[in-house]
Amino acid sequence: MAHSGITTIGVLALQGDFREHVAALNAIGARSALVRRPNDLDAVDALIVPGGESTAMWKLATTAEMFEPVRKRIADGMPAFGTCAGMIMLADRITDAAAGQETFGGLPITVRRNAFGRQTESFEEPISFDGIGELTGVFIRAPWVEDVDGGVEVLARVTSGPAIGRIVAVRQGNLLATSFHPELTADRRVHEYFVAMVTARDAA
């Protein structure tokens, strides 16, 4: 864990849209670092797990000897924020998982992979996010949350269309996850929300 006195948000940079998360963090003045190896992880106070492809992320994390270190840091209380595939990687349970697929876990939720359909069925939709307000949700082959255990706070649901009512943002303690991609818009409020989570924990 970083001990410089300045909070550093790591972004897991094995696969997916990690550069967009770094850009979002830079835009709000947060200190960021790419995380590719275990010693990179040791230098950060929190971790963003980006969108991408959850099975590829799992396999690459295992190959890079990152899987167990990330899982342990999350289990030990490190704040983490997962978007889309990152939500899957933070979930304890997956519906329609690939054969043998594992996750970092930490969030006692069940997610369904590719719940909203194929990439050609990607869409944007206004989302009401508790604690933030209305924002645009960008959904790309996105999961949704099938169910949550007690203690998990539901922050946003789909408000229209055939998937109305489906859960697309959750939080429990130091862990935050969204089905959609806030890093792909110019609205930085979800990243600000996560940074506030991290700094509140560091100040406690």
Question: Helix H segments across 47-184?
Answer: 54-63, 67-75, 85-90
Q: Is 94 annotated as a binding residue?
A: no
Q: Is 54 annotated as a binding residue?
A: yes
Q: Is 125 annotated as a binding residue?
A: no
Kindly report each contact of residues 146-153 with a partner whose C-beta sits within 8 Å and lies 24 or more positions away, as own/partner. Answer: 146/95, 146/109, 146/110, 146/111, 146/112, 147/109, 147/110, 148/108, 148/109, 148/110, 149/108, 149/109, 151/108, 152/107, 152/108, 152/109
Q: Is 4 annotated as a binding residue?
A: no
Q: Is 113 annotated as a binding residue?
A: yes
CA–CA distance, 36 with 128 (Å, rounded to integer): 33
Q: Is 31 annotated as a binding residue?
A: no
Residues tagged active-site:
84, 181, 183
Adjacent-strand bridge partners of 172: 175
Q: Which two tokens stand for residue 200?
A: 């509140």
First-to-last C-alpha distance (Å) of the chain: 16
Binding residues: 52-54, 113, 140-141
Binding residues for L-glutamine: 52-54, 113, 140-141
